[in-house]
């Protein structure tokens, strides 16, 4: 290629690299969490106002999802570990009947409050169509992060850290 053709290719490559950098750069803008309401199987009520000042981990799951089942105890244990730091975990079952969920919970009890789709507008708001899906809402009511699919303890701790929830153990994983 001659010098005449090299300049347009360099310009095109530089433009592509700049576009990629801009696409992945943190804009610093925050996205407020949609207004929600939720009622747990134990009749506890949650909404944006009741969780203000807390960090909320929404765990969208189903009884037939093996990845959800594999991370249930992890999610529940993180909820217990960070409860004193203001973490609330809501285990939002998507699209299943109360009877199905209660039967499942007899063999797989959850420590986290369980919410049914019929008792909330959360699943529709966060387009829960693959499972599990995790959404973290920070203390100011903004979406701090989301994760689609199971990722294990390290991924969940990093997700929670985006909302300021972490322990000394998590410092080692930030590398």
Report the 3 state secondary structure along 140-164.
Answer: CCEEEEEEECCCHHHHHHHHHHCCC
Q: Are strands 114-120 and 133-137 parallel, antiparallel or unpaired?
A: unpaired
175: tokens are 């590398």
What is the tens place of the pLDDT at every residue in 82-109?
999 999 999 999 999 999 999 999 999 9
Residue with the bigger pLDDT between 20 and 133: it is 133
What pTM was estimated for this model as a whole? Answer: 0.79
Q: What is the pLDDT of residue 119?
A: 72
CATH superfamily of 31-174: Glutaredoxin (3.40.30.10)
Whether the Cβ atoms of residue 157 and residue 80 lie closer than 8 Å to each other: no
How many other C-beta atoms lie within 10 A of the C-beta of residue 101?
A: 21
Q: What is the pLDDT of residue 20?
A: 35
Q: What is the pLDDT of residue 58?
A: 95
Q: What is the pLDDT of residue 173?
A: 52
Going from the C-alpha of 122 to that of each of 6, 47, 48, 138, the distances in angstroms are 52, 10, 11, 16
């Amino acid at each position: 290629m001659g010098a005449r053709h090299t300049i347009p290719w360099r310009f095109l490559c530089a433009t592509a690299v700049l576009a990629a950098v801009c696409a992945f750069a943190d804009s610093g803008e925050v996205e407020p969490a949609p207004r929600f309401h939720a009622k747990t199987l134990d009749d506890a009520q949650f909404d944006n106002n009741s969780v203000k000042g807390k960090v909320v981990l929404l765990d969208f799951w189903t009884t037939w999802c093996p990845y959800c089942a594999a991370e249930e105890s992890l999610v529940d244990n993180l909820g217990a570990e960070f409860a004193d730091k203001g973490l609330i975990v809501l285990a939002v079952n998507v699209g299943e009947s109360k009877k199905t969920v209660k039967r499942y919970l007899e063999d797989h009890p959850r420590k986290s409050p369980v919410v049914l789709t019929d008792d909330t507008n959360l699943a529709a708001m966060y387009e829960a169509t693959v499972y599990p899906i995790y959404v973290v809402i920070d203390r100011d009511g903004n979406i701090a992060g989301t994760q689609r699919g199971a990722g294990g303890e390290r991924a969940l701790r990093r997700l929670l850290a985006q909302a300021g929830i972490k322990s000394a153990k998590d410092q080692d994983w930030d590398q």
